[in-house]
Structure 1
Amino acid sequence: MKKLLFFLLLLVSLPASAEVVNIDNAGLEKLIAQGVPVIDIRRPEEWQQTGIVKGSHLITFFDKRGNYNAQAWLDKLAPIAGKNDPFVLICRTGNRSGVVSRFLDQKLGYTKVYNVQKGITDWIAKGKSVVKPGN
């Protein structure tokens, strides 16, 4: 948790950037229809609990304690999307994906990051379909 807190404090001190676009469910549906990859950064037990947006790439960023290995995560992201390719990040409520989106944009120079602002919980609450991981 201390590492997550440090990471969040680091991001708060960064200048604002216009490159991360927060999207709602309609925005997510539009991007999916355009073939933009969706990256679900939650943990495996969360994927199992709620299901996932069909076609999502499952790459956990933070573990249960808030620890992360940014380089290992980036290595898994690289075959899916590069720094100038559009992609969507989603988590449970949009908090973690928001943090990671800003990190990718402001610290690493990714140019087309979309963050699902209210996460998978709003997607499900609005009756949108999910599938079990691996389906």
Structure 2
Amino acid sequence: MKKIILSLMLLSASLFAQLTSQYLTKDFLSKNIPIVDVRTPGEWRETGLLKGAIPIMFFNAKGKYDAKKFLIQLNKKVDTTKPFALICHTGSRTSIIAPWLSKEFKYNVINLKGGMEYATKGLHIKTVPYRP
């Protein structure tokens, strides 16, 4: 079943609805658009989070996921009727998740290309420690 869901997610990448892909900028951060960090707790502890980011893991360290659990947490913590952004380490995971959310649920999703790697090393944005 999980392989089927992943296949659908990959297929939907080419059939997205409301999806924007862009690099993070300081101007973007000033707009206060919610940013969902889909990395793992280990990654959050290692590098910290963008200030105000909402940590909701999608893929675990072994690449497994629970889409239903993710959606429950996402809809509990984010107003999905408004635009929100997704960030991961380099943008690989969000390039799969964002199109799926946009196509399947008609969410207005912003995929932050380059991820935390770009944010911290390219833009030199400071992070805040992750506290579970």
- Which residue number corresponds to residue 109 of structure 2? 113
Write out aligned runs for 1:38-117 (5 A). 38-110=35-107, 112-117=108-113
* Contiguous gaps of at least 5 residues in structure 2: none
Which runs of at least 4 in structure 1 moved beyond 3 Å after TM superposition?
A: 3-6
How many residues of Structure 1 are paired with residues of Structure 2 in the alignment? 129
The residue identity in structure 2 corresponding to 1:50 is T
Preserved contact between residue 37 and residue 80 of structure 1 (Cα < 8 Å): no
- Once the two structures are superposed, what CA deviation does each residue of 1:61-91 show, in whole Å capped at 9, x if it has no partner? 0112211111111111113324421111000
Give % identity. Answer: 27
CA distance 1:4–1:57, shift in 2 (3 Å): farther
- Which residue number corresponds to residue 22 of structure 1? 21
Preserved contact between residue 4 and residue 66 of structure 1 (Cα < 8 Å): no
Instruction: Tell me how far apart the structure 2 counterparts of residues 44 and 83 of structure 1 sit (CA, whole Å).
Output: 23
The residue identity in structure 2 corresponding to 1:13 is L
- Which residue number corresponds to residue 129 of structure 1? 126
Q: TM-score, normalised by structure 2?
A: 0.85
Preserved contact between residue 91 and residue 112 of structure 2 (Cα < 8 Å): yes
Q: TM-score, normalised by structure 1?
A: 0.84
Preserved contact between residue 94 and residue 117 of structure 1 (Cα < 8 Å): yes
- Once the two structures are superposed, what CA deviation does each residue of 1:110-131 show, in whole Å capped at 9, x if it has no partner? 1x10111100001111211111
Report the CA distance between 1:5 and its aligned residue.
9.3
* Contiguous gaps of at least 5 residues in structure 1: none
